[in-house]
Structure 1
Amino acid sequence: MSGILNVTGGTPLTGEITVRGAKNFVSKAMVAALLGNTPSELRNVPQIKDVDVVSGLLRLHGVDVDYDVDAGVIRLDPRNVETAHVADIDAHAGSSRIPILFCGPLLHRLGEAFIPDLGGCRIGDRPIDYHLEILRQFGAVVDKRAQGIRITAPRGLHGTKINLPYPSVGATEQLLLTAVRAEGVTELRNAATEPEIIDLIAFLQRMGAIISVDTDRVIRIEGVAELHGARQTALTDRIEAGSWASAALATGGDILVRGASQAGMMTFLNTFRRVGGAFEVLDEGIRFWHPGGELNATVLETDVHPGFMTDWQQPLVVALTQATGLSIVHETVYENRFGFTEALRGMGATIQVYRECLGGAPCRFGQRNFYHSAVVSGPTPLRAADIEVPDLRGGFSHLIAALTAEGTSRVGGIDIINRGYENFMGKLEALGAQVSPG
C-alpha cells in the first residue's frame, strides 16, 4: 500500500467492521511463549505490523512461527531457542520497542540477551533505563555497548521487591516476563492493571506460572522452574474499537464494531455518552452513532486503567472539534501527546495547548515544561489539507479529521497506521469512506 492516502471528507461513515485481538496483548503474549518448553497457540490474532515484527524476532531466535492470517491463529514452538545475530535483531526490530521485553525470557532460556537501539512512536520519553534497572534487581548484569546492550545473568535471576513510581504498562510487563521463572518470590507494587495486563497474567498462569493480583495494584509472583505452552483467545482491541467509535461521532456516522466488548470500554462509553454520542451494546459487538443535534463539550483527563486511556484521547479530540463550547483535555500518561493537534489547527480546528495541568489535579508533568493540556473550542468546520502522520494514534486521528473535513486531503506516512489497525483501508471502504492511494 502507498504511503500516501487521498481522503475526501464530508461523508458520514456507516456500516459494520470487525475488530480482532488487542495489539497490546497479542505482541506481549507472543514474547511470553518464549518461556515455554512446548508450543503455544493464540487465537483472534489481528494482521498488523507489530505481529509481523514480533514473529520475525521470534524466528531469529529459533522459534517456529506458524501464522494462519485468515483464521487469526498463530502457533509458536520455542523448543529450539537460540541466540540471534545482533544485526538481524536490529533489522527486524525497526521502530518497535518490543525487543526490550525479550530480555527476561531469553535470560531464562539462553542465559543472555541482546537488544539494539530501540525506536517506537515519538510520543514521550519512554526510557528503557527503567527496564534495565528492573532486570538488574533480578540479578542481571547489563553491559552497554556501541551497537546495543548485552544482558547476562551469571548467577541466575532471583525474585525481588519492586515499587514502581508510576504504574507503567511496559515496566509491569517486563517484571512479569522476568519474575515467572526467577527463583523465589517477586512482589510488584503500584503495578499496571490494564485488561491487556490481566490477560497476559492469565496466559502466563495457563503456562504454569503462579501469579496473584491483589488489591491496591500489588502483584505477587512465585517463581517456577519451568513453563509449558498454552492456548488463549486474545481480548478485543479496545483502542481500535474506541477509534472507530470516535470516527462515527466526528463524521456524523453509524458504525457497528463487531467484537467490541463493554467490559474494557466502560470509561470510554461514559465519556462518549456525555459528549452526545449514542451506543448500543449487542451480543456481537457495540454499535456507535451520532444521534443528531449538537455534541457537548467536556472535561477529560487521561489516566492509567481504570481511567480514560491515553490512546482514546487523540481520536476523540477530533470529535470534540465538532462539539459546542470549550472542552478541556489533560494528558497525564505521556508528556508529548498533543503534537498531532498542529495538523488539526491547520485544518481549521481551534485548539490551544498549555504547560499547566488544566481541568484536574496536578500531575507528574505539571512542573516539567511539557505541553500536556489542551483546550478545544468548537464547533469548527474542518477543511482539507496535506497532512503527515506523526505516530500510530495521532495518525488515525488525522485520518478521522480528513474524513470529517470538506474537500480532499493528502495524508502521508499512512503506513504507520498498519502497526495497530488491521486492514484499515478495507474497513474504511466498507464504511463508505472516499479514499484512494496517492
Structure 2
Amino acid sequence: MDRIAIIGGARLNGEIPVSGAKNSAIKLMAASLLTDEPLRLTNMPRLADTRFLGKLLMRLGVSVTESDGADGQQTLLHAPEITSGFAPYELVSQMRASFNVLGPLIARTGQAKVSLPGGCTIGARPVDLHLQALEALGAKIDLHEGYVYAQAPRGLQGAEITFPIVSVGATEHAMLAAVLAQGTTVLHNAACEPELIDLQECLNAMGAKVEGAGTSTVTITGVARLHGATHSVIPDRIEMGTYAVAAAMAGGEVRLTKARPGLIDSLLDKLEEAGCGVERTADGVIIRRNVERLKAVDIETAAFPGFATDLQAQFMALMTVADGESRIRETIFENRFMHAPELMRLGADISVSGGEARVRGVSQLEGAEVMATDLRASVSLVIAGLVARGETTVSRIYHLDRGFERLEEKLTACGAQVRRIQGDGEPEL
C-alpha cells in the first residue's frame, strides 16, 4: 500500500493551478445518463472517485473517454441507450456519490436497481432524504437485501418537496431526477453550495429548465428530453482552500490560479484574522505568510457560505502550531475529528469533547508515522508534515487519491519535500 513521506521545514513559493471540483464532477458525470447524446465535461479532475464512477457508468451503458484538449483535461460521456439499470454493491460501495445514478436511471428508463451505499467513516449520512424526494416525484421504492428497487413506468411527476434538513446530496439527486419529470418541481430548504449552481448550468446547457440553484428554493420545469452539451467543471474550492492552508502553514508565498476566491471567503477571512496575507486576484488568490507564527482563531463549520466542513481538518492542522488556543466546532458531520489523534502523534495538543475540539498551539511538531482515516483528514496530516521536524509518513493514502489530483507534484513544484513511497517501500519515480 502506498504512503506519502514529507520532510518538514521547507517554505512554499510558487504557483499551484487548482483542478476541477471533484464534488461537482461526479454529479455532472451522472447527468450523462439523462440523454442519448454526448456530454463533454472540460476542466475534469483525474481522481480515484471519477474513475470509480466511470466504471459504474460504463456498466450502465455509458461510454467514457478521457482526453487532453484545448480546454485541458476532458471527459466525453455518451449513453445512446441504457443497457443496464443495475448498479451493484461492489461498485456503489466504493463511493457514496455513485448512489446518485438512481434518479437519472428512473427518469430516463422508469426503473432501476441500485445498491445502498453502506456506511461512512465520518458519519451515517443516510440516503432517506434522497428516497423521499424520489417518492415525492412518483417513484415506487422498495428496499430488499441492501438494494433499492425503484419503478416509475409512467414517468416521474413534478412535486413540491421540502427537505427537513439541508442536504447537498439529496438536493442534487432531486434536480437530476426532476429535469425529465412531467410538470414543475419546487425544492424547498435546498442546499446552496456552488456545486449546485454548476449542476444547474450543466443541466440547462443540456436543455433543462432549472432556476434558483444557490438559493434555498430551486424550481425545475420538466422537459421531454435533454440533448448533448459541453460544460466546464467549476474549480475545486476544497483543493483551493487546502493549498491556501498549506501555504499559511509552511510560510512563503503561493499563487493559486484557475480558482475563484469567492468560493472560500469564509476560510480566507479566518486566514487573515490569524495574520496571514491574502490577496484576491482575477484568476485566484495569493497567500503570503512572513510572520514567525500565526494567531489562534476559532472556527465553526456551516453550510455554504459558512466555513466548509471539508476544510475543518486542514485548519485544525494549521492551528496546532498557532500562538494561543483555538476552538473548532463541527456542526455538519458527527465523528469528524478522527484526524485529531493522528495529529497528536506529531506532537499536537488537542482535546475533543463531542462536536468541539480545543487546539492549544505548540512551538514545534515532530515527524512520525501517521495514518489517514478519510479524505480530508489525510491531507491535514500532509499539511502538518510540512512543518514537522524530520520525516512524517502518511499511510492509507488511497483516501488522498480520491480527491486530490497530483498532490505531490503540486507541492513539490513550490519547494516542499514530498514523495510517494510505493507499497514495496521504494520511492515512486
Query: Same fold, TM exceeding 0.5?
Result: yes
Q: CA separation in 1, counterparts of 2:179 and 2:97? A: 18
- Secondary structure at 1:296's aligned position in 2? coil
Alignment map for 1:3-402 (pairs within 5 Å): 3-69=2-68, 71-83=72-84, 89-119=88-118, 121-213=120-212, 217-354=216-353, 371-402=354-385
Q: Is the 8 A contact 1:9 1:405 kept in 2?
A: yes
Residue in structure 1 matched with residue 394 of structure 2 by the alignment = 411
1:328 partner SS: strand
Rounded to whole Å, the distance in 1 between the matches of 2:285 and 2:414 is 15
C-alpha displacement of 1:40: 1.2
Q: Closer, same or farther in 2 for the Cα pair 1:397/1:27, shift >3 Å?
A: same
- Which deviates more from structure 2 when the two are superposed, residues 39-48 or residues 75-84? 75-84
Unaligned runs of 5+ in 1: 355-370
Gaps of 5+ in 2: none
Query: Conserved in 1, the CA contact under 8 Å of 2:129 and 2:163?
Result: no
Identify if the C-alpha distance between structure 1 residues 378 and 215 changes in structure 2 by more than 3 Å, giving closer, same or farther.
closer
Letter in 1 for 2:332: V
In structure 2, do the counterparts of structure 1 residues 330 and 171 end up closer, same or farther at CA, with 3 Å as the change threshold? same
User: Quick one: distance in 1 between partners of 2:169 and 2:287?
Assistant: 31
Q: CA offset at residue 114 of structure 1?
A: 1.8
Query: Distance in 1 between the 2:233 and 2:171 partners?
Result: 19
Q: Could you state the TM-score of these two structures normalised by the residue count of structure 2?
A: 0.93
The residue type equivalent to 2:84 in the other structure is T
Give the counterpart letter for 1:264 in structure 2. L
Comparing 296-305 with 253-262, greater Cα deviation is found at 253-262
SS at match of 1:72: strand
* Alignment pair present for 1:424 and 2:416: no
The one-letter code of the counterpart of 1:402 is G
Rounded to whole Å, the distance in 1 between the matches of 2:346 and 2:383 is 12
**CA–CA distance in 1 between the matches of 2:417 and 2:33?**
43
Pick closer, same or farther for the CA change 1:120–1:273 going to 2, 3 Å: farther
Q: Name 1:364's counterpart in structure 2.
A: none
Q: Deviations over 1:354-381 (max 9, x none)?
A: 2xxxxxxxxxxxxxxxx21111111341
Identical-pair percentage: 37
Deviations 1:381-415 (A, max 9, x none): 11111111100000000111122211112211012
Is residue 95–residue 119 contact of structure 1 (8 Å, CA) maintained in 2? no
C-alpha contact 2:196 2:213 (8 A) present in aligned 1: no
Distance 1:84 1:5 in 2: 39
> 2:166–2:191: 8 Å Cα contact kept in structure 1?
yes
Q: C-alpha separation between the residues in 2 aligned to 1:210 and 1:197? A: 14
Distance 1:247 1:214 in 2: 31
Q: Distance in 2 between matches of 1:193 and 1:284?
A: 23
Q: CA deviation at 1:216?
A: 6.0
SS in 1 for 2:219: strand
Q: Equivalent residue for 1:361?
A: none
TM-superposed CA distance for 1:121, in Å, is: 4.8
Distance 2:214 2:17 in 1: 34
Q: In structure 2, how many angstroms separate the alpha carbons of the residues matched to 1:260 and 1:381? A: 32
Cα deviation digits, residues 340-364 of structure 1 (max 9, x gap):
111111211111112xxxxxxxxxx
SS in 2 for 1:54: helix
Where 2:287 maps in the other structure, the secondary structure is strand
Call closer, same or farther: CA 1:392–1:214 in 2, change over 3 Å: closer
SS of the residue corresponding to residue 323 of structure 2 reads strand
- Residues 399 and 411 in structure 1, CA contact (< 8 A), matched pair in contact too: yes
Letter in 2 for 1:337: R
More displaced stretch, 184-193 vs 120-129: 120-129
- Residues in 2 aligned to 1:246 and 1:431: alpha-carbon distance in whole angstroms: 14
Count of aligned pairs between the two proteins: 419
Amino acid of the structure 2 residue aligned with 1:82:
T
CA distance in 2, matches of 1:40, 1:258: 26
Could you say what secondary structure the match of 1:59 adopts?
A: helix
The residue type equivalent to 2:267 in the other structure is F
1:379–1:232 Cα change, 3 Å = same
Q: Give the drift of 1:428.
A: 2.6
CA distance in 2, matches of 1:266, 1:77: 36
Supply the distance in 1 between the matched residues of 2:108 and 2:181 (Cα, whole angstroms).
12
Deviates more, 1:110-119 or 1:213-222: 213-222
Higher mean C-alpha displacement, 286-295 vs 265-274: 286-295
